[in-house]
Protein backbone atom coordinates (compact mmCIF):
# COMPACT_ATOMS: atom_id res chain seq x y z
CA UNK A 1 0.00 0.00 0.00
CA UNK A 2 2.76 2.40 0.96
CA UNK A 3 4.38 1.59 -2.36
CA UNK A 4 1.27 2.76 -4.19
CA UNK A 5 1.13 5.83 -2.01
CA UNK A 6 4.75 6.71 -2.76
CA UNK A 7 4.08 6.03 -6.40
CA UNK A 8 1.07 8.29 -6.45
CA UNK A 9 2.65 11.06 -4.42
CA UNK A 10 5.96 11.31 -6.20
CA UNK A 11 6.48 13.24 -9.37
CA UNK A 12 8.08 10.26 -11.03
CA UNK A 13 5.21 8.03 -9.96
CA UNK A 14 2.70 10.32 -11.60
CA UNK A 15 4.73 10.13 -14.73
CA UNK A 16 4.59 6.34 -14.60
CA UNK A 17 0.81 6.58 -14.32
CA UNK A 18 0.71 8.92 -17.29
CA UNK A 19 2.92 6.59 -19.26
CA UNK A 20 1.14 3.36 -18.38
CA UNK A 21 -2.35 4.75 -18.92
CA UNK A 22 -1.15 6.37 -22.12
CA UNK A 23 0.13 3.01 -23.24
CA UNK A 24 -3.25 1.45 -22.44
CA UNK A 25 -5.09 4.08 -24.45
CA UNK A 26 -2.60 3.67 -27.27
CA UNK A 27 -3.32 -0.07 -27.35
CA UNK A 28 -7.03 0.64 -27.42
CA UNK A 29 -6.63 3.07 -30.31
CA UNK A 30 -4.82 0.43 -32.33
CA UNK A 31 -7.36 -2.32 -31.60
CA UNK A 32 -10.21 0.06 -32.29
CA UNK A 33 -8.66 1.06 -35.57
CA UNK A 34 -8.12 -2.53 -36.67
CA UNK A 35 -11.76 -3.27 -35.84
CA UNK A 36 -12.98 -0.30 -37.84
CA UNK A 37 -10.81 -1.02 -40.83
CA UNK A 38 -12.99 -4.08 -41.40
CA UNK A 39 -15.34 -1.64 -43.08
CA UNK A 40 -13.24 -2.06 -46.21
CA UNK A 41 -14.21 -5.74 -46.27
CA UNK A 42 -17.88 -4.87 -46.69
CA UNK A 43 -20.79 -4.77 -44.22
CA UNK A 44 -20.71 -8.39 -43.07
CA UNK A 45 -17.40 -8.66 -41.20
CA UNK A 46 -17.78 -5.41 -39.32
CA UNK A 47 -21.40 -6.04 -38.35
CA UNK A 48 -20.63 -9.51 -37.12
CA UNK A 49 -17.63 -8.15 -35.20
CA UNK A 50 -19.95 -5.66 -33.50
CA UNK A 51 -22.46 -8.41 -32.81
CA UNK A 52 -19.70 -10.55 -31.33
CA UNK A 53 -18.69 -7.76 -28.96
CA UNK A 54 -22.28 -7.22 -27.87
CA UNK A 55 -22.78 -10.89 -27.22
CA UNK A 56 -20.13 -10.75 -24.52
CA UNK A 57 -21.45 -8.06 -22.18
CA UNK A 58 -19.06 -8.99 -19.38
CA UNK A 59 -16.08 -8.50 -21.65
CA UNK A 60 -17.49 -5.39 -23.22
CA UNK A 61 -18.30 -3.68 -19.97
CA UNK A 62 -15.07 -4.66 -18.34
CA UNK A 63 -13.27 -3.15 -21.27
CA UNK A 64 -15.46 -0.04 -21.20
CA UNK A 65 -15.08 0.53 -17.48
CA UNK A 66 -11.38 -0.24 -17.69
CA UNK A 67 -10.95 2.21 -20.49
CA UNK A 68 -12.90 4.85 -18.66
CA UNK A 69 -10.77 4.34 -15.57
CA UNK A 70 -7.59 4.50 -17.59
CA UNK A 71 -8.71 7.65 -19.35
CA UNK A 72 -9.75 9.18 -16.04
CA UNK A 73 -6.38 8.39 -14.49
CA UNK A 74 -4.56 9.74 -17.52
CA UNK A 75 -6.52 12.96 -17.37
CA UNK A 76 -6.33 13.36 -13.59
CA UNK A 77 -2.58 12.82 -13.53
CA UNK A 78 -2.23 15.26 -16.40
CA UNK A 79 -4.18 17.89 -14.53
CA UNK A 80 -2.19 17.33 -11.36
CA UNK A 81 1.08 17.54 -13.23
CA UNK A 82 0.01 20.70 -14.99
CA UNK A 83 -0.91 22.27 -11.66
CA UNK A 84 2.40 21.31 -10.08
CA UNK A 85 4.28 22.58 -13.10
CA UNK A 86 2.44 25.89 -13.13
CA UNK A 87 3.23 26.36 -9.47
CA UNK A 88 6.89 25.51 -10.06
CA UNK A 89 7.29 28.34 -12.54
CA UNK A 90 5.10 31.18 -11.31
CA UNK A 91 6.86 33.91 -13.29
CA UNK A 92 7.53 33.77 -17.00
CA UNK A 93 10.43 35.25 -18.88
CA UNK A 94 9.80 38.48 -20.67
CA UNK A 95 11.13 37.02 -23.86
CA UNK A 96 10.24 33.41 -24.19
CA UNK A 97 12.63 31.61 -26.37
CA UNK A 98 11.66 28.10 -27.35
CA UNK A 99 14.55 25.81 -26.73
CA UNK A 100 14.50 22.27 -28.06
CA UNK A 101 10.77 21.74 -27.61
CA UNK A 102 9.11 20.10 -30.58
CA UNK A 103 5.71 21.36 -31.75
CA UNK A 104 4.12 18.13 -30.54
CA UNK A 105 5.64 18.50 -27.09
CA UNK A 106 4.61 22.11 -26.72
CA UNK A 107 1.04 21.41 -27.76
CA UNK A 108 0.53 18.17 -25.88
CA UNK A 109 -2.00 19.74 -23.49
CA UNK A 110 -3.98 21.41 -26.26
CA UNK A 111 -3.99 18.31 -28.40
CA UNK A 112 -5.02 16.27 -25.38
CA UNK A 113 -7.93 18.57 -24.61
CA UNK A 114 -9.23 18.57 -28.16
CA UNK A 115 -8.90 14.81 -28.32
CA UNK A 116 -10.95 14.58 -25.13
CA UNK A 117 -13.67 16.71 -26.72
CA UNK A 118 -13.51 14.58 -29.81
CA UNK A 119 -13.87 11.38 -27.80
CA UNK A 120 -17.00 12.74 -26.13
CA UNK A 121 -18.44 13.76 -29.48
CA UNK A 122 -17.41 10.44 -31.00
CA UNK A 123 -19.19 8.52 -28.22
CA UNK A 124 -22.31 10.65 -28.59
CA UNK A 125 -22.15 10.16 -32.33
CA UNK A 126 -21.73 6.43 -32.65
CA UNK A 127 -22.16 4.86 -29.21
CA UNK A 128 -25.07 6.79 -27.74
CA UNK A 129 -26.61 7.95 -31.00
CA UNK A 130 -27.15 11.33 -29.50
CA UNK A 131 -26.36 13.14 -32.73
CA UNK A 132 -28.80 11.10 -34.74
CA UNK A 133 -30.84 8.58 -32.74
CA UNK A 134 -31.73 6.56 -35.80
CA UNK A 135 -28.08 5.42 -36.11
CA UNK A 136 -28.63 2.93 -33.32
CA UNK A 137 -31.79 1.53 -34.93
CA UNK A 138 -30.21 0.51 -38.24
CA UNK A 139 -30.35 -3.21 -38.74
CA UNK A 140 -28.84 -5.36 -41.43
CA UNK A 141 -30.45 -8.30 -43.18
CA UNK A 142 -29.61 -10.60 -40.27
CA UNK A 143 -31.18 -8.24 -37.77
CA UNK A 144 -27.81 -7.18 -36.40
CA UNK A 145 -27.01 -3.56 -35.63
CA UNK A 146 -25.90 -2.17 -39.00
CA UNK A 147 -22.65 -0.53 -37.95
CA UNK A 148 -21.55 -0.35 -41.56
CA UNK A 149 -24.48 1.82 -42.56
CA UNK A 150 -24.11 3.94 -39.45
CA UNK A 151 -20.50 4.68 -40.27
CA UNK A 152 -21.13 5.39 -43.92
CA UNK A 153 -23.94 7.77 -43.10
CA UNK A 154 -22.09 9.30 -40.20
CA UNK A 155 -19.05 10.10 -42.30
CA UNK A 156 -21.11 11.29 -45.23
CA UNK A 157 -21.53 14.47 -43.25
CA UNK A 158 -18.46 16.48 -44.36
CA UNK A 159 -18.38 18.44 -41.11
CA UNK A 160 -18.32 15.33 -38.97
CA UNK A 161 -15.61 13.86 -41.17
CA UNK A 162 -13.56 17.02 -41.09
CA UNK A 163 -13.69 17.13 -37.29
CA UNK A 164 -12.80 13.46 -37.23
CA UNK A 165 -9.80 13.97 -39.52
CA UNK A 166 -8.55 17.02 -37.66
CA UNK A 167 -8.85 15.15 -34.38
CA UNK A 168 -6.92 12.24 -35.81
CA UNK A 169 -4.22 14.69 -36.81
CA UNK A 170 -4.06 15.95 -33.26
CA UNK A 171 -4.06 12.41 -31.90
CA UNK A 172 -1.15 11.69 -34.19
CA UNK A 173 0.63 14.77 -32.88
CA UNK A 174 -0.16 13.76 -29.30
CA UNK A 175 1.28 10.32 -29.90
CA UNK A 176 4.53 11.42 -31.55
CA UNK A 177 5.51 13.05 -28.27
CA UNK A 178 3.45 10.75 -26.06
CA UNK A 179 4.78 7.41 -27.22
CA UNK A 180 8.45 8.34 -27.07
CA UNK A 181 7.78 10.12 -23.78
CA UNK A 182 6.25 6.95 -22.40
CA UNK A 183 9.47 5.08 -22.96
CA UNK A 184 11.48 7.89 -21.38
CA UNK A 185 9.19 8.14 -18.36
CA UNK A 186 9.33 4.43 -17.75
CA UNK A 187 13.08 4.46 -18.10
CA UNK A 188 13.00 2.15 -21.09
CA UNK A 189 14.71 4.58 -23.41
CA UNK A 190 18.37 3.84 -23.29
CA UNK A 191 20.96 5.55 -25.39
CA UNK A 192 21.11 2.67 -27.87
CA UNK A 193 17.42 2.76 -28.68
CA UNK A 194 16.64 6.48 -28.66
CA UNK A 195 16.45 6.79 -32.44
CA UNK A 196 14.53 3.54 -32.81
CA UNK A 197 11.97 4.53 -30.19
CA UNK A 198 11.44 7.96 -31.67
CA UNK A 199 10.99 6.37 -35.09
CA UNK A 200 8.56 3.84 -33.65
CA UNK A 201 6.59 6.71 -32.14
CA UNK A 202 6.39 8.60 -35.41
CA UNK A 203 5.57 5.53 -37.49
CA UNK A 204 2.85 4.30 -35.15
CA UNK A 205 1.33 7.76 -34.97
CA UNK A 206 1.40 7.98 -38.75
CA UNK A 207 -0.18 4.55 -39.19
CA UNK A 208 -2.96 5.43 -36.77
CA UNK A 209 -3.60 8.68 -38.58
CA UNK A 210 -3.69 7.08 -42.02
CA UNK A 211 -5.70 4.06 -40.92
CA UNK A 212 -8.35 6.07 -39.13
CA UNK A 213 -8.60 8.79 -41.74
CA UNK A 214 -8.89 6.25 -44.54
CA UNK A 215 -12.47 5.54 -43.44
CA UNK A 216 -14.06 9.04 -43.69
CA UNK A 217 -11.97 9.77 -46.76
CA UNK A 218 -13.18 6.60 -48.45
CA UNK A 219 -16.77 7.38 -47.48
CA UNK A 220 -16.58 10.95 -48.76
CA UNK A 221 -14.88 9.80 -51.93
CA UNK A 222 -17.69 7.31 -52.49
CA UNK A 223 -15.35 4.33 -52.32
CA UNK A 224 -17.31 2.87 -49.43
CA UNK A 225 -21.05 3.09 -49.86
Partner 1 sequence: MNLTLKVWRQKDASSSGRFVEYEARNIIEEMSFLEMLDVVNEELVAKGEDPIAFDHDCREGICGTCGIVIDGSPHGPWDATTTCQLHMRAFKSGDVITIEPWRAKAFPVIRDLIVDRSAFDRIIQAGGFISVSTGGAPDGNAIPVSKDDADMAMDAAQCIGCGACVAACKNASAMLFVSAKVSHLGLLPQGEVEQDRRVLNMVRAMDAEGFGNCTNIGSCEAVCPKEISVDFIGRMNRDYRRALLRNE
Q: State the nearest-atom distance from the C-beta of 112 to partner 1, in Å.
A: 12
Cβ nearer to partner 1, comparing 48 with 184:
184
Q: State the nearest-atom distance from the C-beta of 76 to partner 1, in Å.
A: 14
User: CA 4 → CA 1, 7, 150, distances in Å?
Assistant: 5, 5, 43
CB 30 within 8 A of CB 203: no
Distance CA(192)–CA(183), nearest Å, equals 13
12 binds partner 1 (CB under 8 A): yes
Binding residues for partner 1, total number by CB under 8 A: 46
Q: State the nearest-atom distance from the C-beta of 176 to partner 1, in Å.
A: 12
45 binds partner 1 (CB under 8 A): no
Q: State the nearest-atom distance from the C-beta of 44 to partner 1, in Å.
A: 44
Residues that bind partner 1 (CB under 8 A): 2-3, 6-7, 9-16, 81, 84-85, 87-97, 99-102, 105-106, 108, 177, 180-181, 183-191, 194
Amino acid sequence: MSKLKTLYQSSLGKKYIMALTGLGLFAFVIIHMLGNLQIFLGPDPINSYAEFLKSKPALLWTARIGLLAIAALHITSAIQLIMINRRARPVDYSTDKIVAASFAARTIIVSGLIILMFVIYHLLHFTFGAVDPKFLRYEDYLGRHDVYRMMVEGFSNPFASAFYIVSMGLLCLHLTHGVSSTFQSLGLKSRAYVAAIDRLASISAGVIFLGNCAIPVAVLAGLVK
